């Protein structure tokens, strides 16, 4: 069934949609028409929400939304959606997307229309698009990303990997920061998330909250999960009665419900005290909160061989556990506090402010965060980390003095700050503003 759906999509992509676009584009562009489009969600994706709010607040643009989940609608409904989208796409001035979205690349786009890829992930961890084995359908013909006017990423070091993976021409990818991360710097939003969580889970009050948010293995049609029982056992043995939130990838929950919380993962970041994840890009969002994290990767060698990474996974400055025993040891190294005063980025002065302090301590030696070589000369980071550095200097990292030298976060504070700068250095609460300026909507 999955292969049949892919075949139908390719026929639509290569034959019907280009014809529709050619027919509808005979009309002039409607000045101020802005489309928000996505085929993976039933409602406005979090990755586009901040930009959607900002554009709707402007006086001139006329906004239309094309948000649906192709996996949850009938073929007839999908056909109607595509016809309507192509009709409006042909005359739109701006189109915002945040994920793979084939309809925008089904035709030779008119130059007056600007396609802006907000993207849904920070950083540059696992390989994507043409660099990955399973991302692009084998029968796909054409340039899936050729119509992008702008691609937005979370830091300068992310530009070259994304350009190569998406085969984007130089000059289209910009380190504006990821729009959705602006929410994390909004204390009102953080407070709302905490209030909502405790209203739904009052039993979690006063307990250390551990969030397990792994990605899936395999593909969307046949996904699988690693480590569920191990995480349950280990967290269950934690002293003080830790509260475990399980947030599996939506592909997993569609086949078998695993998650024990209905609240979206991003809204749990202000609440959780510890994140356990693996190869999920949620780790980069979590960095902005500067709280403890463990990477539990029991299948690291297999995943690395099958998918691959843009950077050396083992150089990430957080504990990496591959067995139950290693996960227990990693948790012992973490000073996990149920301290809600630090569960927002309001206490953080921003990764740019940390950079100078970290540079003074580390000096400019070879980077420990090795990005895959051969990427337009941008494999070397400008913020190198000295091997074996203790990280006990003064930084803006919000750690109580009493905890210095006693837990992972304080011992590796400088490395973590450097890693943040490398991967999410442009995410400072003002990404949406910069993107609006970039595209000429501000």
The tens digit of pLDDT for each residue in 129-145 reads 888 877 776 666 677 89
Q: What share of the chain has pLDDT > 90, as a percent?
A: 57
Q: Assign 177 a pLDDT band (cuts: 50, 70, 90).
A: very high
> What's the pTM value of the predicted model, to 2 decimals?
0.83
Question: How confident is the model over 360-371, as a mean pLDDT?
Answer: 36
Say which range, 164-173, 377-386, 398-407, 425-434, has the weakest mean pLDDT. 377-386
Residue 60, token pair as written in the block: 């001139």
Residue 133 burial by Cβ neighbours in a 10 Å radius (0-12, 13-18, 19+) = exposed
Average pLDDT of the chain is: 82
pLDDT at 352: 37
Give CA–CA dist 64/94, Å, rounded. 10
Give CA–CA dist 409/317, Å, rounded. 9
Its sign, for the CA torsion 153, 154, 156, 161, is: negative
Question: How confident is the model over 227-248, as a mean pLDDT?
Answer: 81
Its sign, for the CA torsion 205, 326, 223, 101, is: positive
Q: Assign 276 a pLDDT band (cuts: 50, 70, 90).
A: very high
Q: Is the pLDDT of residue 395 over 50?
A: no
Give CA–CA dist 72/346, Å, rounded. 38
Cβ neighbours for 398, distance < 8 A, ≥ 6 positions apart: 290, 342, 347, 348
Q: Is the pLDDT of residue 361 over 70?
A: no
Say which range, 18-22, 235-239, 356-360, 415-419, has the weakest mean pLDDT. 356-360
Residue with more model confidence, 126 or 439: 439
Question: How confident is the model over 420-430, as a mean pLDDT?
Answer: 96
75-89 and 17-24 helices, crossing angle to 10°: 30
Residue with more model confidence, 75 or 381: 75
Q: Assign 336 a pLDDT band (cuts: 50, 70, 90).
A: low
Give CA–CA dist 248/263, Å, rounded. 12
pLDDT at 139: 65
Give CA–CA dist 369/422, Å, rounded. 9
Cβ atoms of residues 288 and 181 within 8 Å: yes
């Amino acid at each position: 069934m999955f292969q049949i759906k892919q075949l139908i999509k390719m026929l639509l992509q290569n034959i019907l949609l280009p014809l529709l676009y050619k027919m509808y584009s005979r009309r002039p562009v409607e000045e101020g028409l802005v489309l928000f489009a996505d085929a993976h969600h039933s409602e406005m994706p979090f990755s586009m929400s901040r930009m959607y709010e900002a554009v709707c607040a402007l006086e001139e643009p006329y906004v239309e939304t094309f948000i649906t989940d192709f996996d949850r609608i009938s073929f007839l409904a999908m056909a109607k959606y595509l016809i309507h989208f192509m009709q409006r796409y042909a005359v739109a001035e701006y189109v915002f997307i945040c994920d793979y979205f084939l309809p925008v690349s089904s035709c030779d786009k008119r130059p007056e229309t600007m396609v802006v890829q907000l993207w849904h992930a920070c950083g540059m961890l696992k390989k994507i698009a043409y660099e990955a084995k399973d991302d692009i359908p084998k029968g796909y013909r054409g340039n899936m990303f050729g119509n992008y006017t702008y691609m937005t990423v979370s830091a300068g070091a992310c530009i070259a990997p994304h350009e190569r993976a998406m085969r984007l021409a130089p000059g289209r990818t910009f380190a504006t920061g990821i729009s959705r991360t602006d929410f994390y710097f909004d204390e009102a939003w953080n407070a709302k998330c905490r209030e909502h969580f405790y209203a739904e889970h009052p039993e979690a009050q006063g307990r250390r909250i551990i969030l397990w948010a792994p990605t899936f293995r395999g593909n969307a049609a046949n996904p699988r999960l690693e480590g569920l029982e191990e995480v349950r056992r280990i967290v269950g043995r934690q002293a003080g009665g830790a509260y475990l939130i399980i947030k599996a990838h939506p592909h997993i929950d569609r086949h078998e419900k695993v998650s024990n919380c209905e609240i979206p993962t991003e809204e749990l970041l202000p609440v959780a005290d510890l994140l356990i994840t693996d190869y999920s890009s949620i780790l980069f969002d979590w960095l902005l909160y500067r709280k403890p994290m463990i990477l539990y990767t029991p299948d690291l060698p297999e995943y690395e061989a099958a998918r691959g990474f843009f950077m050396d996974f083992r150089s990430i400055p957080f504990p990496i556990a591959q067995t139950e025993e290693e996960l227990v040891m990693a948790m012992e190294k973490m000073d996990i506090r149920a301290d809600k005063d630090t569960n927002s980025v309001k206490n953080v002065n921003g990764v740019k402010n940390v950079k100078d302090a970290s540079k003074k301590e580390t000096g400019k030696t070879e980077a420990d965060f090795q990005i895959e070589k051969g990427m337009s000369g941008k494999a070397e980071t400008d913020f190198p980390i000295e091997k074996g550095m203790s990280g006990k200097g003064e930084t803006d990292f919000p750690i109580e003095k009493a905890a210095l030298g006693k837990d992972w976060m304080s011992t590796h504070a400088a490395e973590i700050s450097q890693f943040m700068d490398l991967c999410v250095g442009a995410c400072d609460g003002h990404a949406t503003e910069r993107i609006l300026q970039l595209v000429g909507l501000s």
